[in-house]
C-alpha cells in the first residue's frame, strides 16, 4: 500500500467488505470496589457473548474477547477514572447490544453504566470495492 493515497487503500481494508457496529459503555463504580472489579476483569472467563462463540482472548490491556465472525469485545479498567470501559464490535446492533449486555452481566456491572451513543458506528460494506 506504499505510495497510495488513503482513499486508494480503503477498499483493501477488511472493514470495507462487511457492515459492522461499534459501541463503548463506561461503567462507574465506587472506589472501594476497584480491587474487586479489577480482579473480575482480569479473571473473566467466558465461552460466548451475545450468542457468539469465543474463539480466543488477549489479556495484555484488560481482556479482548475475539468472537465468531470477526466480532470482538474488550473490557478494561480506566487508568484515570473510576470506570470500567466495555467496548464491542459486531455485524449488527442487535448482536452488539447482546454482547455488551452479556459482558456487563458476567462482570456484575449491569447497572450504573453510561452508554456513549457517539461511539455507535455503523459502516456499510462498500459496493464499489473491486475486492471480494
Which residues of the chain fall below pLDDT 70?
A: 1-19, 111-132
State residue 130's pLDDT score. Answer: 47
CATH of domain 19-123: 3.30.310.50
State residue 65's pLDDT score. Answer: 96
Q: How far is CA 109 from the centre of its chain?
A: 16
Percent of the residues in the chain that have a pLDDT greater than 90, as a whole number: 35
What cell was used for 52? 457468539
Is the distance from CB of 113 to CB of 58 less than 8 angstroms? no
Domain residue ranges of the chain, discontinuous segments joined by +: 19-123
Amino acid at each position: 500500500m506504499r505510495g497510495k493515497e488513503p482513499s486508494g487503500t480503503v477498499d483493501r481494508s477488511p472493514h470495507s467488505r462487511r457492515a459492522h457496529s461499534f459501541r463503548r459503555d463506561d461503567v462507574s463504580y465506587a472506589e472501594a470496589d476497584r480491587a474487586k472489579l479489577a480482579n473480575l476483569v482480569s479473571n473473566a472467563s467466558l465461552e460466548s457473548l451475545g450468542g457468539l462463540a469465543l474463539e480466543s482472548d488477549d489479556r495484555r490491556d484488560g481482556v479482548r474477547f475475539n468472537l465468531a465472525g470477526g466480532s470482538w469485545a474488550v473490557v478494561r479498567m480506566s487508568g484515570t477514572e473510576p470506570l470500567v470501559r466495555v467496548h464491542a464490535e459486531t455485524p449488527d446492533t442487535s448482536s452488539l447490544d447482546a454482547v455488551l449486555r452479556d459482558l456487563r452481566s458476567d462482570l456484575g456491572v449491569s447497572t450504573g453504566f453510561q452508554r456513549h451513543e457517539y461511539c455507535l458506528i455503523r459502516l456499510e460494506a462498500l459496493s464499489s470495492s473491486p475486492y471480494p
